[in-house]
A and B are shown apart, each in its own frame.
Chain A
């Protein structure tokens, strides 16, 4: 058995301990060890954004982070976006605008869009499109996603 590393991190606001192999990505740790399967594996090489999470508030591809690297850091996944009071405005607007079909890319888009609106609460359409360039969707043609994000921004998420 390969040597496992003990990691302490805050996942969606909760302090957590986990063991991981050095070769395991944060995405693998989230899905396989912590059973947080909202983050998806698309390309597994940093192109598609389906695995997007926030690492200390910065948007990253969790397939390009080792689990061992998050020692002492805070991770927010799609599971940490909604609250007990209900869906996040971005999630609500994705539903209203039918901004998804198969849904594999959706968690990544929502986490990425949340990072955008926290940095820039009133982005232009061009800014939204540019920010989301690292997220791929093969169903919607993007237009509904962009409209959902702009609508969530109008709502003041």
Chain B
């Protein structure tokens, strides 16, 4: 690896000042960044290790506040967190699929988002769950950005020099709601999504109709995609098979897949339909199953 500098600041103020320097990059779990720097796929002169900053290691749930997920919290802590499993199961599905045990010990959802892979496994569920990114700037302000607007292209985000993703905020789940994330890969683990689908939905009090639904797609566009029309079509519906079919068709129409070594565009579009219906059935079952 080429020569680099390393700093491990303890405060956000120090971190944003360091990140404003030329060639500075934020380091959380390093599972993407270290490989990219080693293989000269991303340039870095200074790695700013964020794991000593308290705000970035926070993981807490409050019924009024929702979930605060620090940008450097590793996947295993999220997957094992009882409130995530119970209230944000789609997020739990996503983080449990990232790499193997070794990767989950280190990789963070904040890093997954900042790495901005179109196939990132944690992002569709974040989008479906209505998560926002809280960003610290060098001037000390906090910006709040919906996660679906955070990635601007493969490997690119809205973050400017000195800006830092502090945490993700997920609103408290609505009554009678749940979520799910599913991906398709040709094996069972340790692979990159051919297609990923995150859904979140809420039912009315007697659980006979959908109040709202949000559907997000991974690996079928330059960034993870929110497909609002597909979710909106489910509002007020009993979520019968015909309703799921309609949402799947709308999601397919909004997908922007390309053909590559993992699958053709047609294959990916087909998978979007299959996975949207399956993920909706899982989320529905989770609501009804308590």
A residues with a Cβ closer than 8 A to B are 2-3, 5, 21-25, 44-47, 49, 52, 55, 58-61, 63-66, 68-69, 71, 112, 115-116, 130-131, 133-135
Contact = CB atoms under 8 A, between A and B. Distances in A.
A55 B105 contact: yes
A64 B2 contact: no
Interface in B1-53: 1-6, 8, 27, 29-31, 34-35, 38-39, 47, 49, 51
A115 B101 contact: yes
Contacts of B103: 46, 61, 64, 134
A65 B30 contact: yes
A155 B284 CA distance: 43
Interface of B: 1-6, 8, 27, 29-31, 34-35, 38-39, 47, 49, 51, 76, 99-103, 105-106, 188-190
A130 B96 CA distance: 12
A115 B47 CA distance: 29
Contact of B6 (A22, A58, A60, A116): A22
14 contacts: A3-B5, A22-B3, A25-B34, A45-B35, A49-B100, A52-B102, A59-B102, A60-B105, A60-B106, A64-B106, A66-B6, A66-B27, A68-B8, A131-B100
Given A22-B4, A22-B6, A61-B103, 18 more contacts: A5-B6, A21-B3, A22-B3, A23-B1, A23-B3, A23-B4, A46-B35, A46-B102, A60-B106, A64-B31, A64-B103, A66-B27, A66-B30, A68-B8, A69-B30, A133-B101, A133-B189, A135-B100
Contact of B102 (A3, A60, A68): A60
Contacts of B35: 45-46, 64
A2 B6 contact: no
Contacts, number: 87
Nearest to A63: B34
A129 B34 CA distance: 27
A65 B100 contact: no
B47 A130 contact: no
Contacts of B2: 23
Contacts of B5: 3, 22
Contacts of A61: 102-103, 106
Nearest to A28: B1
Contacts of A133: 100-101, 188-190
Q: Kindly list the 9 A-B residue pairs having the minimum CB-CB distance in the complex, ordered from nearest.
A: A134-B100, A22-B6, A58-B105, A23-B1, A133-B189, A45-B35, A134-B102, A61-B102, A133-B100
